[in-house]
Amino acid sequence: MTRFKLTLEYDGGPYVGWQRQKNGPSVQAALETAAQAFCGVEVVVHGAGRTDAGVHALGQVAHIDIAQDRDAATVLDALNHFLIDEPIVVLSAEAVEETFHARFSATGRHYRYRILNRRPRPGTTRGHVWWVPVPLDVDAMNDAAQELIGEHDFTSFRATLCQAKSPVKTIDRLIVRQEDEEVVIEVSARSFLHHQVRNIAGTLALVGKGKWSRADMAAALAARQRASGGPTAPAEGLYLVRVDY
């Protein structure tokens, strides 16, 4: 039995999310179907993060255990062969120790949120950005974002149905920058609450529109209730960029 670490990219648009579900296709199920076609037996795929419906990945990490004697190059090519009809690509495969776990061994996760900030709607990036046609004040957004750096109770920025045992998380890095016609939000932490990044993005957009200030952001954080936070930004602008180990 060999455990393989897989690094993946995918378009989350067609899926109900990472996790296997009965109500539609998932990234996990597509990978497990490909692995079964390759191995001839059922294989469970474990992911580093359970991305929501419509959320994309540039560097999702997963692991699988394969009983047959196969090298990493063969696993990579075989999985990509059986995923040919899916917008999922295995970027790399690496044999790792049995103690490695894609989710529990992770020490950091990095997300990017893309806002197309122009008057015309998106064309080629449709489904991959949040379109905000009114001008955003990027400097004000970045300034307000600093209120969220460090360890906090993020109840105001997590989904009401979030199942995490504690709302306390530590954000290590949070910046907002301009990149051509896009406003890009980059955030890093060991782990995140359900909808935390999307709720932060939605709240920062209020700041960018001039409706909120940095003080409003601080007050929302201190309130520790979801109703005090801003709206949830659409899933289509969110990307899991990288996972650290």
Domains defined for the chain, CATH in brackets: 2-96 (3.30.70.580), 108-244 (3.30.70.660)
pLDDT of residue 68: 87
pLDDT of residue 2: 94
pLDDT of residue 82: 97
Rounded distance between C-alpha atoms, residue 147 and residue 41, angstroms: 50
Outline where the chain has alpha helix (H): 27-39, 72-82, 138-145, 196-208, 214-223
Structure tokens at 179: 């990149």
Q: Are 213 and 207 in contact (CB under 8 A)?
A: yes
10-residue mean pLDDT profile of the chain (245 residues): values are 96 96 94 94 93 96 93 96 98 97 97 98 97 98 98 97 94 97 98 97 98 98 96 98 98
The pTM of this model reads: 0.95
Rounded distance between C-alpha atoms, residue 228 and residue 157, angstroms: 9
Strands (DSSP E) found in the chain? 2-10, 46-47, 56-66, 88-96, 108-116, 130-131, 150-153, 168-179, 182-189, 238-244
- Cβ within 8 Å of residue 121, ≥6 positions away: 131, 133
Give catalytic residues, as residue numbers: 52
